């Protein structure tokens, strides 16, 4: 099997983590005119072209102040993130004005969708900016949810150029968190694919089953447990019954999606009727026909779910959410 094509895993820059210990790193980077900055607010990025939004890489001159993050570098530039605080105008939405030279704010999924449709999706520059944007959104999200020391409740201070928060009272240090989740294409011995419908989705939407890794649990056990809980289907315990296929960051807000192919040894379906209200086996012909007619809506093309489904199918399928 070839590696999966995963849009959120494409990247071209060097994170240059060895530089983060330099306490002047942000200041010296800002003094260099070739430095470029991604500006963020509440998980959204300052963009140009609101119709087909692209994250804007801004020169540092004239930007407001906020939380600075070191994202990395390449041969051309150092890259920073700038998280703007809420605007303080009374009665306002809290959304600050986008920086001069940009057109507004857009979320990562919106940007990814626009890029997937663009002719320059494989262009080096597009891959660079998108890789930086995924990193910036994930890191900024962590800061938003971890303002206080988890032990004593004191407001923490940012260190390591945005990659650490430190408690000034007990010196406890915390680092950006990522929550692992598994997502799996479950296939039976007749080569059918299992897809589920979640209670919170619109009618007709189907995708691969998925769930978070629990404390103290191996990935293989998570795959078996989630499939059993959501569909009643039994995944084998033999060698090759759970095979890793690839991963991509999913910073909504802090997931890492780990993709698997899993082999079903018991195919009877019983859903829990709470989280998942339907699970069905599809042959290739059935899934193609259902997707083409619109009876079944498949996940978006930037998702790892889509990649796992199309890997099993052996090509592109019609339709997407």
Instruction: Give the tokens for residue 75.
Output: 């041969």
CB of 143 to Zn ion, least distance (A): 17
Nearer to Zn ion, 150 or 199 (CB): 150
76 binds Zn ion (CB under 5 A): no
Q: Give the closest residue to 186 by CA, choosing from 237, 224, 132.
A: 224
149 binds Zn ion (CB under 5 A): yes
The answer to whether the peptide bond before residue 253 is cis (omega within 30 degrees of 0) is: yes
In whole angstroms, how close is the CB of 166 to Zn ion at the nearest point? Answer: 9
- Residue span 175-214 as binding mask against Zn ion, x where in contact by CB under 5 A, dash where not: ----------------------------------------
Nearer Cβ to Zn ion (133/167) = 167
For Zn ion, the closer CB: 149 or 279: 149
165 binds Zn ion (CB under 5 A): no
> Within 13 A of 189's CA, how many CA atoms are on the CB side?
6
150 forms part of the interface with Zn ion (CB under 5 A): no
167 binding Zn ion? (CB under 5 A): yes
Q: Which one of residues 21, 87, 118, 152 is an interface residue with Zn ion (CB under 5 A)?
A: 152
| Cα end-to-end span (Å), the chain | 26
The answer to whether 40 contacts Zn ion (rule: CB under 5 A) is no
Distance of alpha carbon 257 from alpha carbon 251, whole angstroms: 10
Q: Does 170 bind Zn ion (CB under 5 A)?
A: yes
Interface size with Zn ion, residues (CB under 5 A):
8
169 in contact with Zn ion (CB under 5 A): yes
- By beta-carbon proximity to Zn ion, the closer residue of 3 and 153 is 153
Closest approach, Cβ 147 to Zn ion, in A, equals: 12
Residue 279 lies near Zn ion (rule: CB under 5 A)? no
Dihedral, CA of residue 142, residue 214, residue 199 and residue 260, to nearest 10:
90
Residue number with CB closer to Zn ion (109 or 172) = 172
Residue 150 beta carbon to Zn ion: minimum distance, rounded to whole angstroms = 8
Sign of CA dihedral 274, 214, 130, 185: negative
- Per CB under 5 A, residues contacting Zn ion are 149, 151-152, 154, 167, 169-170, 172
């Amino acid at each position: 099997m070839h590696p999966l094509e995963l849009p959120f895993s494409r990247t071209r820059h060097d994170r240059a983590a060895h530089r983060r210990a330099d306490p002047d790193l942000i200041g010296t980077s800002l003094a260099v005119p070739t430095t470029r900055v991604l500006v963020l607010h509440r998980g959204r990025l300052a963009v140009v072209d609101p119709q087909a939004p692209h994250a804007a890489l801004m020169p540092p001159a004239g930007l407001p102040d906020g939380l600075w993050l070191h994202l990395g570098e390449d041969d051309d530039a150092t890259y920073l993130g700038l998280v703007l605080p809420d605007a303080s105008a009374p009665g306002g939405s809290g959304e600050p004005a986008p920086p001069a030279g940009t057109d507004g704010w857009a979320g990562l999924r919106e940007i990814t969708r626009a890029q997937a449709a663009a002719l320059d999706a494989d262009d080096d520059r597009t891959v660079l900016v998108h890789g930086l944007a995924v990193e910036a959104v994930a890191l900024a999200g962590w800061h938003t949810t971890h303002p206080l020391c988890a032990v004593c409740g004191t407001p923490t201070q940012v260190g390591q150029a945005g990659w650490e928060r430190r408690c000034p009272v007990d010196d406890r240090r915390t680092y950006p968190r990522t929550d692992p989740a598994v997502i799996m294409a479950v296939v039976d011995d007749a080569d059918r694919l299992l897809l589920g419908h979640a209670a919170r989705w619109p009618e007709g939407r189907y995708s691969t089953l998925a769930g978070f890794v629990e404390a103290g649990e191996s990935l293989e056990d998570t795959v078996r447990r989630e499939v059993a809980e959501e569909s009643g289907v039994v995944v084998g315990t033999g060698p090759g019954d759970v095979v890793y296929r690839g991963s991509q960051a999913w910073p909504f807000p802090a997931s890492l999606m780990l993709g698997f192919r899993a082999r079903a040894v018991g195919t009877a379906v019983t859903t829990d009727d709470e989280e998942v209200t339907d699970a069905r086996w599809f042959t290739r012909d059935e899934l193609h026909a259902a997707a083409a007619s619109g009876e079944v809506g498949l996940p978006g093309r930037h998702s790892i779910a889509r990649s796992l489904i199309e890997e099993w199918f052996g090509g592109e399928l019609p339709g997407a959410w």
